[in-house]
């Protein structure tokens, strides 16, 4: 725990944010000098967009932007154009509040912690939207929503037998905030829930919302029991393309894979192969090895694949929730208290 700051702290908001949210941040504490210049921020393409539309970038805007960087002790969001130069252009920088969760690899790559910069993630902000996407996928595949869509397109009124979730088994890979929220909703839907946790010893399945917990070394044993596999694992060197053809073949025949981690945790061609061969029953994918998903990808044509354009984590209340998180962390920073969601560069989350 540090000391309560008595000096002024320059806070630079570098991502699209509604003006009312920026105004809330300005009013948090007189010690925070909050810089938010809409003329320098791209217009969002949709609610909760943290990238924004392409914009004309003049020399004058660049000069002003660099002035803000040079003064900033705190940055809300990432300066995507100057990542490699950030430690030089922002010599006073001590804390970056990210707006996503997958920040471990870049934090380690840039060596920010070694340079005295704390990085905090948006962990927990996207848990409910992601869990709701997975609930949609679970019920959608159980009731064969893709089949119903095809019937509607063909104007066919043709009765069929649906599946049901109660009595089925879901395996969750990654029981952080996202995974435990998925577990909560899945159990409410009547599924038996299994889980893999990186730190297994001392973990209590009940507190994580699962019926049984497996160490990572027994992931194939869990896969063999699962009608659905949920992927909410952090993006680290350890998880990079760890789901290959052999892993998919270890899953129960007919299993449906739901991915809300990153596309790089699986070998996408191996997933396609397991789907084409009929071993997997389907997939609901929000993330991909290459984004946007290329037009020639076989996934577009597969009748048993649900595709989402990396949007499952975005929801209507994100701006408010993200602002709440930053305000809480900013108060902690100013008062010398531990910050929430600090990235560990070794664990990478």
| Domain with 300 in it | 127-307
Query: Are 207 and 144 contained in the same domain?
Result: yes
Q: Give 319-323 contacts, CB < 8 A, sequence gap 24+.
A: 319/17, 319/18, 319/21, 319/47, 319/48, 320/21, 321/125, 322/17, 322/21, 322/48, 322/99, 322/122, 322/125, 323/17, 323/21, 323/24, 323/25
pLDDT tens per residue, range 33-47: 999 999 999 999 999
237 and 327 belong to one structural domain: no
| Residues 223-244, mean pLDDT to the nearest whole number | 94
**266 beta partners:** 243
Residue 247 lies in a domain: yes
Q: Which residues in 134-150 are b (16+ Cβ under 10 Å) and which e?
A: bbbbbebbbebebeeee
pLDDT at 68 over 70: yes
User: Could you tell me if residue 28 is inside a domain?
Assistant: yes
pTM over 0.85: yes
- Residue 343 in domain: no
Q: How confident is the model at residue 1 (pLDDT cuts 50, 70, 90)?
A: low
Clarify whether residues 204 and 262 are in a common domain: yes
pLDDT band for 273, please (50, 70, 90 cuts).
very high
Residue 134 and residue 121 share a domain: no
Give the contacts of 148 (CB within 8 A, at least 6 positions apart). none
How confident is the model over 125-148, as pLDDT tens digits? 999 999 999 999 999 999 999 999
Let me know whether 217 and 303 are in one domain.
yes
Same domain flag for 249 and 114: no
CA-wise closest residue to 171 among 228, 212, 220: 228
Task: State whether 234 and 100 are in the same domain.
Answer: no
| 79 and 172 housed in the same domain | no
The count of structural domains within the chain is: 2
pLDDT at 349: 82
CA 242 to chain centre: 18
Tokens of 252: 């129960």
pLDDT, mean of residues 148-154: 97
Structural domain includes residue 342:
no
Separation in Å, CA 16 to CA 140, 194, 213: 33, 38, 40
Name, in order, each residue with C-beta under 8 angstroms of 230's C-beta and a sequence gap of 6 or more: 134, 170, 171, 172, 173, 179, 182, 186, 258, 260
**82 and 163 inside one domain:** no
> Is there a domain that residue 341 lies in?
no
Does residue 179 lie in a domain region? yes
Cis peptide before 292 (omega within 30 of 0): yes
CATH number, domain of 203, equals 3.40.50.720
Instruction: Decide if 339 is inside a domain.
Output: no
3-state secondary structure of 169: strand
Residue 323: strand pairing partners: none
pLDDT average, residue stretch 198-225: 92
Q: Is residue 163 located within the same domain as residue 245?
A: yes
Residues 193 and 281 placed together within one structural domain of the fold: yes
For residues 168 and 205, state if they share a domain.
yes
Residue 212 lies in a domain: yes
pLDDT(238) > 90 = no
Please, what is the average pLDDT of the chain? 95
């Amino acid at each position: 725990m540090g000391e309560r700051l008595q000096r002024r702290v320059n806070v630079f908001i570098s991502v699209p944010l509604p003006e009312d949210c920026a105004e809330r941040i300005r009013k948090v504490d007189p010690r925070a000098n909050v810089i938010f210049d809409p003329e320098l921020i791209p217009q969002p393409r949709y609610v909760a967009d943290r990238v924004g539309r392409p914009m004309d970038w003049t020399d004058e805007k660049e000069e002003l932007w660099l002035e803000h960087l040079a003064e900033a002790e705190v940055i809300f969001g990432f300066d995507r154009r100057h990542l490699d130069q950030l430690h030089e252009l922002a010599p006073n920088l001590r804390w970056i509040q990210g707006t996503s969760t997958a920040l471990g690899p870049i934090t380690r790559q840039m060596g920010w912690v070694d340079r005295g910069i704390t990085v905090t993630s948006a962990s927990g902000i996207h848990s409910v939207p992601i869990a709701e996407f997975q609930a949609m996928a679970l019920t959608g595949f159980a009731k064969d929503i893709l089949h119903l869509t095809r019937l509607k397109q063909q104007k066919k009124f043709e009765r069929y037998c649906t599946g049901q979730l109660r009595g089925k088994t879901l395996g969750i890979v990654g029981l952080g905030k996202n995974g435990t929220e998925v577990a909560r909703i899945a159990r409410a839907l009547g599924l038996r829930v299994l889980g893999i946790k990186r730190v297994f010893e001392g973990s209590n399945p009940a507190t994580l919302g699962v019926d049984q917990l497996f160490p990572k070394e027994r992931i194939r044993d869990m896969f063999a029991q699962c009608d659905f596999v949920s992927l909410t694992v952090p993006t680290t060197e350890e998880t990079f393309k760890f789901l290959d053809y052999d892993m998919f073949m270890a899953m129960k025949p007919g299993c449906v894979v739901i991915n809300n981690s990153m596309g790089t945790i699986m070998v996408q061609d191996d997933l396609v192969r397991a789907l084409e061969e009929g071993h997997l029953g389907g997939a609901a994918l929000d993330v991909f090895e290459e984004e946007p998903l290329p037009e020639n990808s076989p996934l577009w044509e597969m009748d048993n694949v649900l595709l989402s354009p990396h949007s499952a984590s975005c929801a209507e209340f994100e701006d408010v929730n993200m602002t709440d998180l930053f305000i809480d962390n900013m108060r902690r920073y100013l008062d010398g208290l531990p910050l929430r969601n600090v990235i560990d560069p070794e664990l990478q989350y």
